[in-house]
Amino acid sequence: MLFGRTPVLPTPEQALKGRPDPSFTVPDRHTVLGNPLLGPYPEGLEVADFALGCFWGAERKFWQTKGVWTTLVGYQGGFTPNPTYEEACSGLTGHTEAVRVVFDPSVVSYEQLLKLFWESHNPTQGFRQGNDVGTQYRSAIYTHSPAQEATAKASREAYQKVLTGSGHGTITTELLPAEGRPFYPAEAYHQQYLDKNPGGYCGIGGTGVSCPIGIAPTPGAH
Contact indicator for 163, 171 with CB cutoff of 8 Å:
yes
Catalytic residue among 54, 89, 202, 211: 54
Residue 54 appears among annotated catalytic residues: yes
- Environment class of 82 (CB within 10 Å of its CB; exposed 0-12, middle 13-18, buried 19+): middle
Is the four-CA dihedral 120, 112, 55, 122 of positive or negative sign? negative
3-state SS assignment for residue 95: coil
220 vs 87: CA distance, rounded Å: 39
Q: 176 — phi, psi (to 5°)?
A: -140, 155
CA–CA distance, 40 with 76 (Å, rounded to integer): 19
CA dist list (Å): 166 to 20, 170, 211? 46, 12, 12
DSSP label at 161? H
Active site residues: 54
